[in-house]
Amino acid sequence: MRILVTGASGFVGSAVVTDLIAAGHKVIGLVRSAGAAGILATLGADVFAADLRDQENLRAAIARVDAVVHTAFNHDFSQFRESCEADRSIIEFFGTELAGSRRPLVVTSAIGVLPGNGLVTEATDPVPPSSEGANPRAASEVAADAVANMGVPVSVVRLPPTVHGDGDHAFIPILIGTARKNGLVAYVGNGENRWPAVHRLDAARLYRLAVEKAAPYARYHAVAEEGVPFRQIATSIGAGLDLPVQSIEPETAASHYGWFSHFAAMDIQASSVQTRASLAWAPNGESLLEDLAGPAYFGAG
């Protein structure tokens, strides 16, 4: 297949591109900069220069491909709600362009949009983003629902709080940076709140399997570990940085973590049983704690 990948030079997107090409697919990567274009050329992908807001250029790119994999997302949390609404719009645009062609669309969501009470599965519905206290990120799944109603084969890949591996610049590096700044690694309360996790290469393979299957409408969990206790994550970071590890009260989490305090206290367990069975997906990458014990995260001072 000829597959358009958005966010193709990113941490997850570049792994998806590599996996797709290794499986024999032709990849067209959407980029906005010369640096990103160079990364994709090195990976063996074709380059299509366009901004996600440039619908005319996007329309031309979509017309050339057999499928679209959408991994791009603006992770500037200072404008998180706006980014979520922008993602809703682009997913709906992809759906409109793909409608009637039976060409599949794979989009990205987050395990964190699901209610964190008990074990969540692929069948668990997110709280609508318009509800009080809901995660605005659920807008992407609302858009996927709309695209499915257009008759487009759409798959939602829900990523866990940590997609880990060499080159990570998301939640684990944020925890490491906070620990360096404060001189200690903190966990909230007893630290038994859990984060699901997956290695980036396992996540990339799931995206490929999803686009190849092209189910009428599917939700997949890119989850290799159902829930790693946060205290274990903190302990591993403490060992990597040679810093003390200690509990902090929920009331002081905001002063320690700032805007990240919600994520530091997040407690969610996520199953991928249905995903593994449906796609024959068998994650085999290093675990989160194995990665934290290796050289990937603590090479820089």
Q: Can you give the pLDDT at residue 50?
A: 86
Q: State the pLDDT at residue 33.
A: 83
Q: What is the pLDDT of residue 127?
A: 84
Domain made up of 2-162+196-226+271-279: CATH architecture = 3-Layer(aba) Sandwich (3.40)
Q: What is the pLDDT of residues 239-261, one digit of tens each?
A: 999 999 999 999 999 999 999 99
* Max mean pLDDT range (62-66, 132-136, 296-300): 62-66
Indicate if the pLDDT at residue 288 is higher than 50. yes
For position 77, what pLDDT does the model report? 76
- The fold of the 164-195+227-269+285-293 domain, in CATH, is UDP-galactose 4-epimerase; domain 1 (3.90.25)
Question: What's residue 301's pLDDT?
Answer: 44
Query: 3-state SS of the chain?
Result: CEEEEECCCCHHHHHHHHHHHHCCCEEEEEECCHHHHHHHHHHCCEEEECCCCCHHHHHHHHCCCCEEEECCCCCCHHHHHHHHHHHHHHHHHHHHHHCCCCCCEEEEEEHHHCCCCCEECCCCCCCCCCCCCCCHHHHHHHHHHHHHHCCCCEEEEEECCEEECCCCCCHHHHHHHHHHHHCCEEEECCCCCEEEEEEHHHHHHHHHHHHHHCCCEEEEECCCEEEEEHHHHHHHHHHHHCCCEEEECHHHHHHHHHHHHHHHCCCCEECCHHHHHHHCCCCCCCCHHHHHHCCCCCCCC
Domain parsing of the chain, residue ranges? 2-162+196-226+271-279, 164-195+227-269+285-293
Tens of pLDDT, residues 93-128: 999 999 999 999 999 999 999 987 789 999 999 988
Query: pLDDT over 70 for what percent of the chain?
Result: 99
